Amino acid sequence: MRKFQPYIYHKSMKMKAGKLLLLLLCLKAFSYAVIATPQTCPAKDGTACGDSDDWKGEFFPGIPKIKYEGLSSKNPLAFKWYNAEEEILGKKMKDWFRFSVAFWHTFRGTGSDPFGAPTKYWPWEDGTNSLAMAKRRMRANFEFIDKLGVDWWCFHDRDIAPDGNTLEEANANLDEVVALAKELQGKKKVLWGTAQLFMHPRYMHGAATSSELGVYAYAAAQVKKAMEVTHYLGGENYVFWGGREGYQSLLNTDMERELNHLARFFEAAVAYKKKIGFKGTLLIEPKPQEPTKHQYDWDAATTSNFLRKYGLIGEFKLNIECNHATLSGHSCHHELETARINGLLGNIDANTGDPQVGWDTDQFLVDIQEATMIMLSVIKNGGIAPGGFNFDAKLRRESTDVEDLFIAHIFGMDTMARGLRNAAKLIENGSLAELVRKRYQSFDTELGALVEAGKADFEMLEKKAKEWGELKVASAKQELAEMILQSVL
**β-bridge pairing 281-284 and 246-247:** unpaired
Which of 10, 105, 156, 200 does the annotation list as catalytic? 156
3-state secondary structure of 79: strand
End-to-end CA distance of the chain: 30
Instruction: Please say whether the beta carbons of 226 and 195 come within 8 A.
Output: yes
Q: Is 334 noted as a catalytic residue in this protein?
A: no
CA distance 303 to 339: 9
Give Cβ neighbours of residue 152 (< 8 Å, ≥ 6 apart): 98, 99, 100, 101, 145, 188, 189, 190, 191, 236, 388, 390
Measure the CA dihedral 61/66/71/74, to 10°: 0
Q: By CB neighbour count within 10 A (0-12 exposed, 13-18 middle, 19+ buried), where does 3 fall?
A: middle
Measured CA distances, 436 to 232, 431, 445, 489 (Å): 46, 9, 16, 20
Fill in the DSSP letter of residue 88. Answer: E
Give 3-state DSSP helix, strand, coil % of the chain, rounded to 5. Answer: 45, 10, 45
* Amino acid at residue number 300: A
Catalytically active residues, by annotation: 156
